[in-house]
């Protein structure tokens, strides 16, 4: 059965997610799974922010008309041009530090332009430009939803710009200055608290989704494997044969059907628990002779197995089946009901070109298996020389 790519996510892991205690491996997986969607979202919301930023020129015209030309040059010529470059870089799925850091830096530069406009203007209404910083903080935390450390750093930078904007503005009384700063801090802190909760629960939701995916993948995997031997089951065989039918090829494929000789008497004398152990050992011996991931060993039912060998002719399949037969006999699993004293198996082999019905090929292999049993068991049928004769006869026909 395939290895699990990730560790099982338990309740403790979910609690760690709420406390930002992702392991390095979990953080790497989280970023790999969410980065593309995150970049797409930042790209779209970055463009939205730039559109509103340009529209803010209308506010500049109302509050600071004496520097409207300067505001237009700085906002459109500097910030918008730089912002477009930033969102294009972000769209290319850069590392998380580049992605989050560039978006935060672009917002800080937008806030710096607001400071320049306030400092350059002599308008009596320029004080009202301070609302820019609250809008930028809301944009960072609510719209962009920057990762919490980057959102915090960006909001601290905006607070510094807000304080400088108050300092360079027209003379205001202490109460007004304190009120403006408190309003900014209150709005920003409340937004950061919400951002903190959102980030934590987003990570928890991600882990819950991964756990559900793992459970679904595990159930899907179980539905294609025999729980006793770990081999594929009939559904896995159907999947392999369907895949073969969908990929035209000029190479033949082979089916080997194997059956443990006198297995009923083995169970009757030693019990079903011993029978299960025997089946597991036989399954391991069959797997040992497979050539790679494309070959499949299937528990077909009871003590019967099917081996699917793509890109394999009859003679090659015959050799593989013979090695399997010999491995089982040489393992000398005790069988008190046999004259030989050990467990053996009989094999039937059939090969067909692409396009021949899989059911027909399995039927031919099954018929060959019964021929092997009728010929005395513990053998492969058709025998290797006969298989070679059949192949030459088909080629000359």
Q: Which residues are catalytic?
A: 303
26: cis peptide before it, omega within 30°?
A: no
Q: What is the per-residue DSSP string for 151-179?
A: HHHHHHHHHHHHHHHHHHSS---HHHHHH
Beta strands at 345-352 and 296-301: parallel, antiparallel or unpaired: unpaired
Beta strands at 380-381 and 345-352: parallel, antiparallel or unpaired: parallel
- Whose structure tokens read 């969410």? 34
Which are the contacts of 76, defined by CB distance < 8 A and separation ≥ 6?
Answer: 54, 57
- Whose structure tokens read 């053996």? 344
What do you get for the CA distance between the two ends of the chain, in Å? 43
Tokens of 163: 């304080």
Single out the residue of 16, 3, 4 nearest to residue 206, CA to CA.
16
What is the CB neighbour count within 10 angstroms for residue 192? Answer: 18
Which are the contacts of 300, defined by CB distance < 8 A and separation ≥ 6?
Answer: 234, 237, 257, 306
Q: Please answer whether residues 295 and 309 qualify as being in contact, where contact means their C-beta atoms are separated by less than 8 angstroms.
A: yes
Instruction: Compute the half-sphere exposure of residue 2: CA atoms within 13 Å on the CB side of its CA.
Output: 12
Q: Where are the alpha helices (DSSP H) in 258-357?
A: 263-270, 272-287, 314-331
Q: Please answer whether residues 236 and 319 qualify as being in contact, where contact means their C-beta atoms are separated by less than 8 angstroms.
A: no
Q: What is the per-residue DSSP string for 217-248?
A: HHHHHHTTB-TTT--B-HHHHHHHHHHHHHS-
Alpha carbon distances (Å) from 68 to 81, 135, 185: 18, 20, 29
């Amino acid at each position: 059965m395939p290895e699990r790519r990730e560790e099982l996510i338990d309740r403790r892991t979910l609690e760690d997610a709420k406390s930002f205690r992702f392991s390095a491996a979990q953080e790497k997986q989280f970023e790999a799974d969410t980065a593309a969607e995150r970049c797409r979202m930042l790209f779209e919301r970055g463009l939205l922010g730039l559109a509103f930023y340009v529209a803010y020129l209308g506010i500049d015209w109302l509050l600071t008309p004496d520097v409207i030309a300067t505001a237009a040059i700085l906002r459109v010529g500097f910030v918008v041009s730089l912002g477009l470059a930033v969102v294009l870089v972000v769209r290319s799925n850069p590392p998380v530090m580049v992605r989050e850091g560039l978006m935060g830096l672009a917002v800080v530069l937008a806030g710096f332009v607001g400071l320049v406009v306030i400092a350059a203007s002599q308008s009596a209404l320029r004080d009202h430009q301070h609302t820019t910083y609250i809008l930028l903080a809301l944009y960072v935390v609510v719209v962009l939803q920057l990762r919490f450390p980057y959102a915090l750093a960006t909001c601290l930078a905006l607070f510094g710009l807000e304080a400088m904007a108050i300092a360079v503005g027209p003379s205001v009384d202490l109460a007004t200055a304190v009120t403006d700063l408190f309003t900014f801090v209150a709005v920003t802190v409340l937004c950061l608290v919400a951002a903190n909760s959102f980030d934590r629960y987003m990570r928890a939701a991600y882990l819950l989704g991964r756990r559900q995916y793992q459970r679904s993948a595990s159930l899907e995997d179980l539905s294609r494997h025999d729980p006793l031997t770990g081999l594929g089951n009939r559904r896995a065989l159907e999947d392999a044969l369907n895949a073969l039918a969908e990929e035209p090829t000029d190479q033949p494929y082979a089916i080997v059907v194997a059956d443990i000789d006198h297995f009923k008497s083995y169970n009757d004398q030693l019990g079903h628990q011993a029978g299960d152990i025997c089946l597991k050992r036989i399954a391991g011996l069959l797997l040992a002779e497979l050539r790679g991931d494309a070959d499949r060993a299937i528990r077909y039912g009871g003590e019967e197995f099917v081996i699917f060998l793509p890109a394999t002719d009859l003679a090659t399949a015959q050799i593989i089946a013979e090695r399997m037969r010999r491995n089982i006999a040489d393992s000398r699993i005790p069988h008190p009901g046999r004259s030989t004293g050990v467990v053996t198996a009989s094999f039937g082999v059939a090969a067909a070109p692409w396009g021949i019905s899989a059911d027909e090929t399995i039927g031919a292999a099954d018929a060959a298996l019964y021929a092997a049993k009728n010929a005395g068991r513990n053998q492969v049928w058709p025998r290797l020389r006969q298989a070679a004769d059949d192949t030459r006869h088909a080629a000359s026909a």
